[in-house]
Structure 1
């Protein structure tokens, strides 16, 4: 029996990764995503990067065991700083905080064609940052893994969008160019948090996703003292709950 290496979370992320010549797997950990990118035809070459020596050594051993070390290069370094201009078309970054991901994109040697990002927090701020940098968000997905809810999204640089979309795919050029729900979206909209494409598509986990976010905010309100009941923070939480309820 084949040993399972990709978690449900990573398998879901894999579904929204475009095909490209070279992709970076940043924060590669055990190297599982890097191997799948190559063996399942998403990339012809992969740079597997990690800031920690231990996980990178583990990844290198696994990649060598699979006989793929000619096409997957392991590099020790901080995010995309371990790469050079022109080496990659895109990058996959999973399991980190959204603000750290923002810094990784910002500090890279160049802005890549696309990024597939699965932030653990700061989803709204990360989506807003990518749009501010000239990217179109083309996919939002929600998944569960080991009882926890996760989100991921695909951001493609505006000037190369047509290279990474298909008329037969889930998002057509017309929808991307003319109907992208992020265009003109108010900065305080909860769609930056929950995913504007996901709100349109209403995937199987959508209701559970929204109800959990409402529960989180209601718990925060319930934990506030009477003195805090009229604060700006309290009012903002109430506003967020009311907006989230419109998405159920």
Structure 2
């Protein structure tokens, strides 16, 4: 009998551990997000109907639904494991009436009668986010705001927005656990001026604010690119290599100007 009670206690502990994800030593669940997701959430509080695409465990929509009375959300997830995790999280949080988990690829989980006001896509590469937007662009009609958090290559996201009449209304850059993340908030706006080369690479708002995380990110990139450039110069000078070298030198120049060097 003692062994039975011990086994139950052990299984309960394992269950509790599995119900949370640890990010940088901090437990993340429906009540506590990583700094990265907290900042994404901060741009969604005032909406009543949102969608989180690539929702993973469903923490972001559950977090918002618990804090914003009347908010409802769609959590979209392609892969079976995260989809089941999100379903379980919604059930544990008692949010089955507020958060609906749907399985599908990108924006295909949205229906015309959903009347989603804002869409979040976070934790993916910039090119993947851009492809999700491109493949599902017909689902963006009526959407008021996009909150996008690319882990890498944010320029790909800005380029898509610039070509599809979305204006960047806010940007953030944060550091968490040694990694630097950018958050891009965009709204539909006809006649939006095209972004400059520097805006696409560095962010139209971020490059003017020049915060500490921005400077750290681009100084780090600068050093990495300089090393790559040195290696390119040592190699055989084909047209392809010359083109790569020229593009890299141009990016280095843009970063140098932004950092005031």
1:222 shift after superposition? 2.4
Counterpart selection for 1:212 from 185, 205, 220: 220
**Residue 195 of structure 2 corresponds to which residue in structure 1?**
185
The DSSP-based 3-state class of the residue aligned with 1:85 is coil
**Residue 98 of structure 1 corresponds to which residue in structure 2?**
126
TM-score, length of structure 2 as denominator length: 0.78
**Residue 169 of structure 1 corresponds to which residue in structure 2?**
none
The DSSP-based 3-state class of the residue aligned with 2:218 is helix
The answer (yes or no) to whether the contact 1:17–1:42 under 8 Å persists in 2 is: no
Unmatched tracts of structure 2, length 5 or more? 1-25
The answer (yes or no) to whether the contact 1:16–1:139 under 8 Å persists in 2 is: no
1:107 shift after superposition? 2.5
Matches within 5 A, 1:133-212: 133-158=164-189, 183-186=193-196, 189-212=197-220
Structure 1's 221 and 23: CA in aligned 2 closer, same or farther, altered over 3 A?
same
Worse-matched range after superposition: 27-36 or 205-214? 205-214
Does 1:241 find its partner at 2:249? Answer: no
TM-score, length of structure 1 as denominator length: 0.82
Higher RCO structure (Cα 8 Å, ≥6 apart): 1
* Structure with the greater alpha carbon radius of gyration: 2
Worse-matched range after superposition: 65-74 or 10-19? 10-19
Structure 1's 82 and 10: CA in aligned 2 closer, same or farther, altered over 3 A?
same
The DSSP-based 3-state class of the residue aligned with 1:152 is strand
Please give the alpha-carbon distance, in whole angstroms, between the structure 2 residues aligned to 1:11 and 1:241. Answer: 32
Please give the per-residue CA displacement for 1:45-94, whole angstroms capped at 9, x wherever unaligned: 00001001111111111111111111000000001101101411111001
**Residue 110 of structure 1 corresponds to which residue in structure 2?**
139
1:15 shift after superposition? 2.6
Unmatched tracts of structure 1, length 5 or more? 160-176
Please give the per-residue CA displacement for 1:87-129, whole angstroms capped at 9, x wherever unaligned: 1111100111222212222232421222111112332122121
Worse-matched range after superposition: 41-50 or 208-217? 41-50
The DSSP-based 3-state class of the residue aligned with 1:69 is coil
Does 1:122 find its partner at 2:153? Answer: yes
For these two proteins, the number of residue pairs brought into alignment is 224
